[in-house]
Structure 1
């Protein structure tokens, strides 16, 4: 008997079968769009049956029968009744209640009721502990860990499976599921625990550790098709991450590193392909049709997202043909439903885009699409599963939407909404179909109804957004494909209704308030997506922006301050103006020199003008006199339309909440050609990702500074960072302003020393004078330190977030920064870094200036900052104005006359709290 047969015999001889929910390799976003494999697989090869207690009464047995036919709700009713009877017995029977609670936990998972599943599985663990059935305690901990993973709580899952003491060598604490299974030589339990652990680490983006745990499972039971399938998933994800890292490396000039990433990515794609092929082969030999189908669909999905150099057309074609044949004979199941949907919308080289957010144009099975989708609806109806009915009807509705049969499209989409909304069991699809209904209603010119659908989609997505966005490095979820288009569509629809005069004047402020809420939610979502966790929410004010503006407690924060929020939509860009003492106003960016419909400045035209503006500033140091033409044109487009609302006699500070490419340029350098002044000469300027993250009261009572600097040339990941000769002047300037300081310079400035100093002493001010790189992914975001080392954003975050609130950093300064030019994600990283590491305010440079001008600007800023009555934004404004007036100042001031050029003073910006 071969190893596989021995394993099967061992598993089927067990009194209880252990389940594990293994998610497929499909992109993270697809789990929320079509959820192809959100089915419970049996790691022990047992399909469709749950455990029943020995000598169980008829209620338990009836529950098992209902469960096996897919009637999970009725199964729960019978088991709950049985549990009540057991608990009412005069003599407690934990062995019996343990089994019933175990069954209930499994049924609740099927129903998507995770909290109820947690309650039942936790009760099962207590019961099994009471009867000293420790192996089963371990198994239940694995199942409970799976539920926590489903809820987006990986730390709890890992604690149950391995414990917080999990180390590099994959060691686990004694009471963990892994160690319990190992102690009792419970091979199925070991494989299940390692399998779930691997999946948890995969879903939080730690693919190396995921692979290590899954390989550990493979060693326990070699050639198990489910473990091989999971390994294929993990290698696919790591390959995708490596591709993204290659792109990031290329953008920041690390060509050799990019080539190496691409080589490793190709190797991982090859490994994933082989694992899927072997999984399919073994499942076929074991006559496990559901597992074979899942493996085929995984392979197809992988092939559809790669080019011929990774998976050839023959392999792809054969896999599709085999999947179609197998689909015909599959028993009714969620795999059959999701498989039909996925095959119906299958595209070669799809780049991972969702088929439900636009209309696919290159379908592989175009002639069979309608038949496949109709069969998925029929199967879902047979199974009476709300989640399946939701996806099947929604997918068919989208088919008719793309065929422009709006009535059929709306009928099926509304069926999907009803199914998804049943007991709120399918929120991860509800937002999708509400969004789809909105698009269809828009096409029917039912604009108000469309907005209502978009709004419901938005509110549903807000409830589950954190679960979608907080996988730390899970590159599958395409934020641009799911969240951003919905939020912008909703905002655009409301704004267009307002512009058309379809909203009564008395409701305009309410409608604009909803637009503000939508835009603010989008900006928070972008930050979470970039950093991959929920740390930015730690300082989030529960009140919405309009509520904050009316809050009397914030009177000082918003006194004489106006907020300008931008939103970039298809074809045009809008600006919202808000203040505490006036109604919200909105204007599209227009060119007053044009007439009629040509007045609207297209988003493409604006982006080109913004890029021209930035390029002119960066290269402007070579010019004797800065050319203000572009700066003046942007002023006329963005600022001048609000001239009456930002009267300089009343308004002292402008706070910008920027969108997309607008984050990459300093608003301070916009030029008022009429007054012949830069914007910063009239107003103090600050930027923030969201008002809800920045309303804090500064504490300037402590004036102790930690000064970190690097003057020497460094090499990081093969990239040379040149020496910063002017840094010594900057460091001396900071030392002069803060006599009570500690400094770490050159070889003393290394991550270990920084972490030690910040842990030992409170430093309200941390000034870092070194190269700081912000890439399009967080892995490429770091500060260059001495000895050719780097302080990563994660290390900086961990060091500063471990501080007590009273010891938190008030101001973090980053000079000599470098962002990936032309990529808004890099500038998003710069804008969010202060929030990510938990400091209240940051002053940072949008690009690197290797010049003594930085030291002069920094010196002036800190001199102003130390004057208690001046805000941070005003302190920087005063320093920048001094630079602008360089030609008018006496030589004794020591400011070179060329520093009036905005290339020298404009890139320094205030981020976060501007007070």
Structure 2
């Protein structure tokens, strides 16, 4: 073993020698190409046995139990010292040594008949087992500890029992038993209350834990309410280190729930408390957390400033290097090369000086990942070339494959020595990613398979999916298409099992959805649709569209930070084959080098065709079309671009649509297609809306369909003519009164809240006290890819999408009738935000509404009033579907009102959800 280790580093040192002449440079490059693949093999002989963003492996608040101070015999004093040593080893991340020490201590306490101290040691041993991924042993240890403790005892006994229950809750949540974890932490809180937790540290910790369990269970609002109460209690306490630590813990928890503004405020209070106490350790820790929150908010300049302050102030080498690595990541993203350059040289030295610990291992992996990511940017040409007089972007001496491999080799070796299977898997898998980048496929695959085995052994699906994905890419590169499809299937299955967990963790530090989740689905679909050549089987087409639906669902979960689509659903195929056989469903899928389209025509097998347009071409044309639709002097360009999109999506299937007497098209749109109204597609003579009713849907499933025309319409309407003073950027909407009059004229029963009467409190009150099946809000609002920027405006300020959801869900508890339709007649999607329609669709889904009618951009309120009036008139008098009523209203503007005939006036309105 020693000889092999020398052999490995001997070759590394050889790589770093400076060549003496150009010929020697060429010889050395040639040798590197031959020898670099051997590094993986040598690593495999050194240690038996990514890319994801790294977090501390324990997200929840837990701690090893402290030993009470009392008079003990000399033997027991010795055992107490050993136990504290075990605890220190655990906290240093030296898990194997900690396990050995605590196992010995537990056995000796058992021999002495000391149940209390044996129980305490077992609970700490369970924490060690958990960190090593030994869940069976951890569960057995914690159960034995609880059995020894019983339920009654002295205050000291109850203190230990409470701490043991904390560890049990942590173990349960780690194994996906969120409901049991919640109960354990509720018992813990009750026990700390019973024994009189003087500084409330235990109570606070228990409540933060409960909030995380609630979020995993999908109770986002309950979790946030609990965290808010914790924050209020903490702020009323006098300054202390405990308060500063708990405020920081709360700020980090709020960050995990996605409440970033509240997180920033709480972390700022933690910082201020630490500053008053003049604690450099806590000051720098708060600054690091503030930097993380700013980074997730994409406030890169503040993130950089916080990280730099943390580096300057911290006495902790570990905090310093964590801040340096996070700072480097931001600087590389923002292409601030001159500031990044010194860090590239400093961080390896800082890492080498750290004592071996779990957190230090993760820091090494995270640094290596940043270097790999940067190399990838350079490889694919994302980084611009230096301008005249500029230095190169980065000094590549610090990010050669050999340097990165050396960092990861050390991380693997240290993770193995610590007995940390998760970290070992991260390091080996990341090394596999490095070899993938270097196109050394077979070595990369061998490493990836090792990382996968390790991740599965420690029950870590959050990283297992990543290695399945990596394995799929590698098998595809080597021509093993069936093997690649199987690996992608496994990755998607893991993501499905992780659905709640993925949205309950920090979206930037644990994973970046767009980089680490979305591509799994897209690449999988591309593989399915491009792998067989010729005509694809219906089974393959069905699998591909189900995968795109799963992506849409994951995107919506990611938007809300909660697995939110837990409603009774039916497959769309059943709707078009049985309930509405004149509707067809179109699934355009934007892939890297092609646009793929799957079509479901009533009572026909799935159809499919492809358009040879790259993602870049498709997105460029859609971007131009979206821009020109709102510009009055661009009609010629709009029709030309719309005709192109028509030729992609409609023209190939139009004969089949006509043969099947289809009159409604339901689009399940992907990516940039969501920002363009399908109604405005043009065949050279007519717009699509002149031939077909159009609706949008999120995927293969929707809430149980129910035609609105069969019911009597009862509308709860809120309107705001003059926006509040703070929102003067929004213009007045004087035609709202006319809009409400036209709704009433259509024969619709309406309860109105107008101007000063339209407050969030008044709306909440009406929702809980009157019957209605339509909510109609004529007010400014915005849909964004960020839920915090998605709102509707009332007299007393914005009603956020999450509050709006809570408002309608409360109503569901008291009234059985569903909200059939949510109309938002003056809102708009955020400009340039392709994911903004997630907010639009999400409002309906989260509110429990079967469908939403809203606009993609701001439209003149006079034309809006006419269109909305016509929509309701058609619903009431003609008893048609919602999609057909919208079509007729749009055609009325197009054909009967010359001033409003441009698509910019009528095409903005889209119906999302149930079209019946």
TM class, shorter-chain normalised?
0.7 to 0.9
| Residues 369-518 of structure 1: pairs in structure 2 closer than 5 A | 369-423=404-458, 425-469=459-503, 478-499=512-533, 508-518=537-547
Deviation for aligned residue 1:853: 3.3
Aligned to 2:816, what secondary structure does the other structure show?
A: helix
Deviation for aligned residue 1:198: 3.0
Q: Cα deviation per residue 1:85-121 (whole Å; 9 max; x = unaligned)?
A: 9848999879779848856864895898445799699
**Quick check: 1:653 aligned with 2:664?**
yes
2:215 corresponds, among 141, 145, 153, to: 153
Aligned to 1:742, what secondary structure does the other structure show?
A: strand
Partner of 1:780: 789
Partner of 1:854: 864
Question: In the alignment, is the contact (CA less than 8 A) between 1:549 and 1:558 conserved in 2?
Answer: no
Q: Which stretch shows the higher mean deviation, 340-349 or 873-882?
A: 340-349
1:632 and 1:158 map into 2 onto residues whose CA distance is 44
2:676 corresponds, among 642, 646, 665, to: 665
Question: In the alignment, is the contact (CA less than 8 A) between 2:169 and 2:180 conserved in 1?
Answer: no
Q: What is the TM-score of this pair, normalised by structure 1?
A: 0.76
Partner of 1:803: 811
Question: In the alignment, is the contact (CA less than 8 A) between 2:448 and 2:471 conserved in 1?
Answer: yes
Deviation for aligned residue 1:240: 2.8
Partner of 2:848: 838
Deviation for aligned residue 1:138: 6.2
1:582 and 1:296 map into 2 onto residues whose CA distance is 60
Question: In the alignment, is the contact (CA less than 8 A) between 1:845 and 1:907 conserved in 2?
Answer: yes
Distance 1:416-1:374 versus aligned 2 partners, 3 A rule: same
Aligned to 1:766, what secondary structure does the other structure show?
A: strand
**Quick check: 1:539 aligned with 2:570?**
no
2:841 and 2:524 map into 1 onto residues whose CA distance is 25
| Residues 168-247 of structure 1: pairs in structure 2 closer than 5 A | 170-171=232-233, 193-210=246-263, 213=266, 215-216=269-270, 219=273, 222-224=277-279, 227-240=282-295, 243=298
Q: What is the TM-score of this pair, normalised by structure 2?
A: 0.76
Q: Cα deviation per residue 1:234-274 (whole Å; 9 max; x = unaligned)?
A: 31134235546xxxxxxxxxxxxxxxxxxxx7456434432
**Quick check: 1:879 aligned with 2:889?**
yes
1:124 and 1:727 map into 2 onto residues whose CA distance is 51
Distance 1:905-1:171 versus aligned 2 partners, 3 A rule: same
Which consecutive residues of structure 1, in runs of 5 or more, have no partner in the other structure? 1-29, 173-177, 245-264, 284-291, 590-599, 887-895
2:185 and 2:779 map into 1 onto residues whose CA distance is 56
1:710 and 1:120 map into 2 onto residues whose CA distance is 46
Distance 1:353-1:831 versus aligned 2 partners, 3 A rule: farther
Question: In the alignment, is the contact (CA less than 8 A) between 1:195 and 1:213 conserved in 2?
Answer: yes
Q: Cα deviation per residue 1:468-511 (whole Å; 9 max; x = unaligned)?
A: 2356997985321111111100000010013356xxx6xx1111
1:470 and 1:782 map into 2 onto residues whose CA distance is 22
Partner of 2:72: none
Question: In the alignment, is the contact (CA less than 8 A) between 2:601 and 2:660 conserved in 1?
Answer: no
Aligned to 2:406, what secondary structure does the other structure show?
A: helix
Aligned to 1:848, what secondary structure does the other structure show?
A: coil
Deviation for aligned residue 1:716: 4.6
Deviation for aligned residue 1:361: 9.0
Question: In the alignment, is the contact (CA less than 8 A) between 1:229 and 1:275 conserved in 2?
Answer: yes
Aligned to 1:824, what secondary structure does the other structure show?
A: coil
Aligned to 1:825, what secondary structure does the other structure show?
A: coil
Question: In the alignment, is the contact (CA less than 8 A) between 1:626 and 1:901 conserved in 2?
Answer: no
2:231 and 2:150 map into 1 onto residues whose CA distance is 49
1:342 corresponds, among 366, 375, 379, to: 366
Partner of 1:247: none
Distance 1:233-1:89 versus aligned 2 partners, 3 A rule: closer
1:720 and 1:218 map into 2 onto residues whose CA distance is 34
2:394 and 2:342 map into 1 onto residues whose CA distance is 22
Deviation for aligned residue 1:686: 0.7
2:610 and 2:58 map into 1 onto residues whose CA distance is 43
Partner of 1:909: 910
Question: In the alignment, is the contact (CA less than 8 A) between 2:179 and 2:217 conserved in 1?
Answer: no
Partner of 1:299: 324
Question: In the alignment, is the contact (CA less than 8 A) between 1:573 and 1:588 conserved in 2?
Answer: yes
**Quick check: 1:582 aligned with 2:604?**
yes
Question: In the alignment, is the contact (CA less than 8 A) between 2:823 and 2:853 conserved in 1?
Answer: yes
Aligned to 1:564, what secondary structure does the other structure show?
A: strand
Aligned to 1:586, what secondary structure does the other structure show?
A: strand
Deviation for aligned residue 1:416: 0.3
Distance 1:464-1:540 versus aligned 2 partners, 3 A rule: farther
Question: In the alignment, is the contact (CA less than 8 A) between 2:679 and 2:688 conserved in 1?
Answer: yes
Which consecutive residues of structure 2, in runs of 5 or more, have no partner in the other structure? 1-49, 67-83, 91-97, 112-117, 384-392
RMSD of the alignment, in Å? 4.7
Distance 1:112-1:821 versus aligned 2 partners, 3 A rule: closer
Partner of 2:835: 825
Distance 1:715-1:841 versus aligned 2 partners, 3 A rule: same
Deviation for aligned residue 1:224: 4.9
2:542 and 2:126 map into 1 onto residues whose CA distance is 48
Distance 1:122-1:334 versus aligned 2 partners, 3 A rule: same
Q: Which stretch shows the higher mean deviation, 130-139 or 490-499?
A: 130-139
Q: Which stretch shows the higher mean deviation, 115-124 or 877-886?
A: 115-124
Distance 1:325-1:76 versus aligned 2 partners, 3 A rule: farther
Question: In the alignment, is the contact (CA less than 8 A) between 2:364 and 2:408 conserved in 1?
Answer: yes
Aligned to 2:233, what secondary structure does the other structure show?
A: coil
Question: In the alignment, is the contact (CA less than 8 A) between 1:380 and 1:388 conserved in 2?
Answer: yes
Question: In the alignment, is the contact (CA less than 8 A) between 2:679 and 2:687 conserved in 1?
Answer: yes
Deviation for aligned residue 1:911: 1.3
Question: In the alignment, is the contact (CA less than 8 A) between 1:768 and 1:814 conserved in 2?
Answer: yes
Question: In the alignment, is the contact (CA less than 8 A) between 2:368 and 2:408 conserved in 1?
Answer: yes
Aligned to 1:650, what secondary structure does the other structure show?
A: coil
Deviation for aligned residue 1:200: 1.2
Distance 1:348-1:635 versus aligned 2 partners, 3 A rule: closer
1:162 and 1:770 map into 2 onto residues whose CA distance is 28
| Residues 109-148 of structure 1: pairs in structure 2 closer than 5 A | 113-114=174-175, 129=191, 133-135=195-197
2:182 and 2:745 map into 1 onto residues whose CA distance is 62
Deviation for aligned residue 1:449: 0.7
**Quick check: 1:34 aligned with 2:54?**
yes
Partner of 1:529: 558
Distance 1:212-1:157 versus aligned 2 partners, 3 A rule: farther
1:727 and 1:186 map into 2 onto residues whose CA distance is 52
Distance 1:603-1:119 versus aligned 2 partners, 3 A rule: closer
- The aligned length equals 808
| Residues 346-361 of structure 1: pairs in structure 2 closer than 5 A | 346-347=370-371
Distance 1:331-1:735 versus aligned 2 partners, 3 A rule: same
1:88 and 1:106 map into 2 onto residues whose CA distance is 15
Distance 1:369-1:556 versus aligned 2 partners, 3 A rule: same
2:691 corresponds, among 682, 693, 707, to: 682
2:829 and 2:223 map into 1 onto residues whose CA distance is 40
1:299 and 1:272 map into 2 onto residues whose CA distance is 7
